[in-house]
Structure 1
Amino acid sequence: MNDIRTESHGVPWEETYGYVQAIRRGNTIYLSGQVSHDGPELVAPAPLDDAGAVTDFANMAAQMRQCYANAAELLGRFGASMDDVVDELIFVLDSDTGGAAAEEVRKEVYGKPVPQLASTIIGTPRLAFPELLVEIKLVAVV
């Protein structure tokens, strides 16, 4: 049975890099790392110094919320929701700020004090765009 379907946001970097935002195979939906954007515009971009380094991590929670909003929108196209997520991988530029933001935002997004899914958070030196502070990859089962 060839039960495969894909979805994208239609942003330029999908074609440039060459990928889809989500693919459903059978009853599993795999989401590519979601970043903080609304269309092609970044949401709550981090301020940068003259060398292109992030100078402030205060927008971490705002970016995280947008990542989850983008993920929820994609899942909805498959008739799924954040309730169907079984695994998440969160990449953050600053582990302390990212961990604090995740503690708050994840509870909002999943609507539970202890979201019922596997979760990993990893500190990384840089993401796809210098203004990004967080990227979230999800797997859902429907």
Structure 2
Amino acid sequence: MSIEKKTYRSGPWKDVFAQGVRVGDRLYLAGQVSMDESGAVVGAGDIAAQVRTTYGNIARVLGQFGATMENVVDETLFVTDMAMVMDNLEAVGGARAEAYGGTAEVSQTMVQVAGLVMPELLIEIKCVAQL
């Protein structure tokens, strides 16, 4: 059986992995982080800024498939310091609400990890969207 896939690649690692893969009416996004197109970290040390930039990157990838944040149904947040997130929950929640235009109607899991691809990164978000 053959699976038809549509992918979107960008950024400094575009030859290594796709930012998003569409299979049928489901869209799987690779973990997005707070980096600009050149691969530079945005908002080092500022969890709210990183959340904002990360969701901006998610929205950009979704847009490549004609989708918006409204299409997201599931997300997994990987954080390097759960206590920092909880201590800044109002700012983090505010940045998330900005991205979704209000309360996010998605299933969500948040886990603490030992580290991300670059030590300055505090959060990575992976999500699934229904088209």
Measured against aligned partners, the alpha-carbon deviations of 1:39-83 in whole angstroms (never above 9, x if no partner) come to: 12211123xxxxxxxxxxxx0110111111011001001100000
Does the residue aligned with 2:108 lie in a helix, a strand or coil? Answer: strand
Q: How does 1:38-77 map to 2 (within 5 A)?
A: 38-40=36-38, 41-46=40-45, 59-77=46-64
Q: Which residue of 1 aligns with 2:113?
A: 124
TM-score normalised according to structure 1 size: 0.82
Q: Which residue of 2 aligns with 1:25?
A: 23
Greater CA radius of gyration, 1 or 2? 1
Given the alignment, which residue of 93, 101, 126 partners 1:137? Answer: 126
User: Sequence identity, in percent?
Assistant: 40
Does the residue aligned with 2:94 lie in a helix, a strand or coil? Answer: helix
Does the residue aligned with 2:67 lie in a helix, a strand or coil? Answer: coil
Name structure 2 gaps, 5 residues minimum.
none
TM-score normalised according to structure 2 size: 0.88
Once the two structures are TM-superposed, the CA of residue 28 in structure 1 deviates from its matched residue by 0.6
- 2:68 pairs with 1:78: no
Give the CA RMSD over aligned residues. 1.5
Q: Which residue of 2 aligns with 1:49?
A: none
